[in-house]
Chains A and B, each alone.
Chain A
Amino acid sequence: MAPPTRMDLLQGTLDVLILKALSWGPLHGYAVVRWISQRTEDALRIEEGALYPALHRMEQREWIEAEWGVSENNRRAKFYRLTPAGRRQLNAEAESWRRYAEAVGRVLATATA
């Protein structure tokens, strides 16, 4: 059993988080992991390696583009950037997440009342 403060990722959630992370500008994979753990204050448990298949699949779907560049400490790193298609995908996903969370929240609110 995981501690109550750390939750396993729901299916498909990782994609939205990656898209959101990249919406601020190009990042390499490690930076994406850091961004997500900072923003969620480590509330979500991410297996770091799982990030890469997700990134590559999204690249295949042309939601994101990759290019080799140089990291802040001058090392060769692969940077990912959101494409217009990726941005549309992010908006759509964010919207459906919001509605989903609202609906679940409403149900839970009435149940405890």
Chain B
Amino acid sequence: MLSWRRSFRLHLRKGTVEQDVNDEIAFHIDQATRELMADGMDPQAAREEAGRRFGDVEGIRRTCREIGHQRQRGRRRTEIVSELGQDALFAVRQLARTPGFTLIAVLTLALGIGATTAIFSLLHAVVLRPLPFDHPERIVHLWMVDRGQDRSMSAGNFLAYRDGVRSFEHLSALRNASFNLTGDGNPERIVGARVSAGYFETFNARPLLGRVISAAEDSPGRDRVVVLSHGLWHDRFGADPRVIGRDVRLNGLVHTVIGVMPVGFASGSRLWVPLALTPEQMGNYGDSYLRLLGRLRPGASLAAAQTEVADLAKRLETVDARANVGKGARIEPFVDHLLGGYRRRLLILLGAVACVLLIACVNVANLLLARGAARSREIAIRAALGAGQGRIVRQLLTESLVLSLGGAIAGIGLAHLGLRGLVAISPAGVPRLGEAGIDGLALAFALGLGLAASLVSGLVPALRTARPDLQTLLKEGGRSFGTGSPRDRVRTGLLVAEVALALVLLAGAGLLIRSAIQLQQVELGFDPAGVLTAQLSLPRADYPETDRAAAAVQRVVTETGQLAGVESAAAISILPLSHNDSSSALEIEGHPRPVEQRLEGSTREVSPGYFRTLRVPLLHGRDFTAADRAGAPKVVAVNETLARLAWPGEDPIGKRLAWSVDDQTGPDWRQVVALVADVRQRDLAEDMRPTLYLPMAQSDLWGDNDIEVAVVARTAGDPSALAGPMRRAVRGVDPRLPVYDLTTLEEIRAAAAATTRFNMLLLSALGGIGLLLAAVGIYGVISWFVSQRTQEIGLRMALGATEGRVLALVTWQAMRPVLVGLGVGLAGALAATRALGGLLFGVTATDPATFAGVLVVLAGAALLASWLPARRASRVEPTRALAP
């Protein structure tokens, strides 16, 4: 009441600030004039004297007016705030009166807002935040493009691009490498990189201690220096600031520590040593093993740089035709390469949770409509007593705002829990995931969602409720007859929207579930059960000849094979499903092809017994033996895909192929001695690739790289029990060799399916929530329809309609909007699932089986949700229904 009186007074006074000030000053001067006249002054002189004593009338008037206006504004502000406070208090009281309704609405919104906030936090932490580098948008990758695929670069090409492209401020090369770190403490395997001078400058990164690699150090013989990552410095050197200048042993060679990088600079490498290309490497255009990273000059555009590198790629074709003909070059922003895949996946998830949130909003809108209908008498009375429509809408919106803010606050709690769960179950290797959390931005996002949700869920019900048909309502006592009222159209619309949204969500979830199942059923080509594997690395400093390294590996394999419980043991250069590959362009004897059309085959060095140990079927020919050593005739084994592509319809045994060509003696032919079954080499989702296997001792593919192999051992028992004995076996052969990445092939297989499983789990959970919410919403709306039609149903039954007929009629009328929703949803889903493209495996984005299944599930849920109220309706007693 108080606020009413105040605002009333305010209106009367509006525009009278000027009048008040004028009147007050006029009174003062009048009064002064009178007194001066009473003292005997004549009127004219008295008036002048009074004005003189008063001072600057106009100035004072202006000052007073300003103060008055200020006061008025301040008062209006406090009034609005207090009115809002009153509305909110009133809303809370109203909501507290129906705790069941309030709880359901708040929880529904909390679910939607919480899920959306959690995914948004992930998206922000992983993708949206700028990278912690100076001008990260200027950092780019430079790839060689070979038959549409991004490839590494050769050293020769690297130097050509470094010196020949003006758009680059720096262009640097990187080659991943791991190092056996020995000296004080256990030998340890460290993942690091060999980088050219200018690598750190590419990121404009400064060291925390010491300095980075200089141009002088980037040459053979002067390259025994190392820069440590912050993590390695911390873990291995106890964060000792005097580490600069200390010597460490890497792969048996002494290196001097020259610098330590700060925390943010990691990118997977734990240390960096100079790339130090030899003159021989610099002249090599054929061997591609360098990843190039560049920094664009300020002002240089991506497009200009792209044109420049493409031109240079053309010119390089003439420098070394064999290596470069048909190869292009492509610039890719660093951030795209690092986060591109995640951005899409997380945006899809965000879309899915947004669907859930919208369904939640629709449900709450339905609840509010029902509540509004129940309160229509109250509203009508308030309207009749003179409350304006705007005022009533504001009050109703305040109610949904209070609900939504409650939902947002509860949702923030849910998001916090959900985010921790997500981080815990997410697949390994997602960059920056650990930094995800509910921060200020996430809080603001959640509150913003709450605000939006209150509008989405509250506006239509508020407008509907605030504009009741006064006469009908008051006359009929709140009961309306028939189904043609506009309010039904709103509800029907909400139902259609809800069903459509749920269908989009379920279709996406369904496709991902099918992908995961397909992936689980993929033919691996080998038997992972019971196989333990461990990585071994033999540095070139200790094993300069491949022959000797192969002999050492063979000794480890033999020792392992003799351990208790081991059925067989072997070694391979790159394990299946390890997301790693090495490949060469192949020349097939008798089938010459132009350079750019040559067959590309994955290459794997193996020890004898590898096929037996992994149970890769040996289809034809013989396994490698100890006799296939260096100097013996060079032999290979090929998989079915390679055999089919190279010698279609022919027996490959005895055929010859080569990958290296000597200018004098011609191709270095190797004879096929075995045909083996296909194996998934890089990951589960790829097609079978042409692959060839060669005996370790005969490999020329390692070059001067350290020799890295995986030892595999098949056991009848628990493979993890082998870990200790296997380590001891390696130590027996060479105590300096670290054994690392001990795991089972089953675990590697699970890790390969982890991303798809994660996507599936998440979308299934969201789909489930969406289905549940939609079913509850459908049930609510249809219950309401039925309750509104009790009279009509009673009448029909009184006129002889059977229970069955009523059941069918009500169900059919309820299902009509559901069917419309399914139609709309189907169109939406067909459009939306296209975005899933790359995440699917073994199904198309419009997989008919999935869509049919999802339609059946949703229609079934809707049928159940409408059948329950329909059955209730069919049991209506005509006399009760028709009673006034």
Contact = CB atoms under 8 A, between A and B. Distances in A.
Contact of A30 (B27, B55, B70): B27
A59 interface: yes
Contact of A56 (B59, B67, B74): B67
Contacts of A53: 60, 63-64, 67
A12 interface: no
Contact of A60 (B20, B55, B71): B71
Interface stretch (A2-10, A14-22, A70-78, A91-99): A70-78
Interface string A29-68: 1100100000000000001111011001101100000000
Contact of A49 (B55, B67, B71): B55
B321 interface: no
Nearest to B28: A30
Contact of B27 (A48, A49, A50, A71): A71
A87 interface: no
B786 to A, nearest CB: 59
Contacts, number: 60
B686 interface: no
A50 B53 CA distance: 10
A48 B55 contact: yes
Contact of B25 (A52, A60, A71): A52
A53 B59 CA distance: 10
B64 A29 contact: no
A50 B60 CA distance: 7
Instruction: Find the residue from B23, B27, B56 having the highest chain A CB count within 10 A.
Output: B27
Contacts of B24: 29, 52, 77-78
Given A49-B55, A53-B60, A77 B25 contact: no
B27 A60 contact: no
A77 B34 CA distance: 15
Interface in B14-61: 20-21, 23-25, 27-28, 30-32, 34, 53-57, 59-60
A78 B23 CA distance: 9
Contacts of A59: 71
A52 B29 CA distance: 12
A49 B57 CA distance: 7
Interface in B231-250: none
Interface in B513-565: none
B63 A48 contact: no
A60 to B, nearest CB: 5
B351 interface: no
B68 interface: yes
Nearest to B58: A49
Contacts of A49: 25, 54-57, 59-60
Contacts of B31: 30, 71
A53 B68 CA distance: 10
A60 B53 contact: no
Nearest to B50: A48
B121 to A, nearest CB: 46
Contacts of A78: 20, 23-24, 27
A49 B31 CA distance: 13
A37 to B, nearest CB: 10
A88 to B, nearest CB: 21
Interface in B830-882: none
A48 B70 CA distance: 23
Interface in B308-322: none
A30 B67 contact: no
A52 B64 contact: yes
A73 B67 CA distance: 29
A75 B74 CA distance: 31
A105 to B, nearest CB: 32
Given A53-B64, A56-B67, A60-B67, A48 B32 contact: yes
A76 B27 contact: yes
A15 B25 CA distance: 19
Contacts of A73: 34
A76 B74 CA distance: 27
Nearest to A53: B63
Instruction: Find the residue from A29, A47, A53, A57 having the highest chain B CB count within 10 A.
Output: A53
Contacts of B64: 52-53, 56
A48 B67 contact: no
Nearest to B53: A48
A57 B70 CA distance: 10
Contacts of A30: 27-28, 31-32
Interface in B479-517: none
B881 to A, nearest CB: 63
B23 A47 contact: no
A52 B59 CA distance: 11
Nearest to A33: B28
Given A49-B56, A53-B60, A78-B20, A29 B28 contact: yes
A95 to B, nearest CB: 27
A75 B30 CA distance: 10
A94 B311 CA distance: 89
Contact of A48 (B23, B28, B30): B28
A79 B59 CA distance: 22
B54 A48 contact: yes
A52 B21 CA distance: 9
Contacts of B21: 52
A79 to B, nearest CB: 10
Instruction: Find the residue from A48, A49, A71 having the highest chain B CB count within 10 A.
Output: A49
Nearest to B25: A52
Nearest to B67: A56
Nearest to B59: A49
A33 B27 CA distance: 13
Given A59-B71, A60-B67, A60-B71, A52 B27 contact: no
A47 B59 CA distance: 13
Contacts of B30: 75
A47 B74 CA distance: 29
A77 B27 contact: yes
Interface string B384-414: 0000000000000000000000000000000
B707 to A, nearest CB: 86
Interface of B: 20-21, 23-25, 27-28, 30-32, 34, 53-57, 59-60, 63-64, 67-68, 70-71, 74
Interface of A: 28-30, 33, 47-50, 52-53, 56-57, 59-60, 71, 73, 75-78
Given A52-B60, A78-B23, 5 more contacts: A30-B27, A49-B57, A52-B21, A56-B68, A71-B27
14 contacts: A29-B28, A33-B28, A49-B25, A49-B57, A50-B60, A52-B21, A52-B24, A53-B60, A56-B68, A59-B71, A60-B71, A71-B31, A77-B24, A78-B20
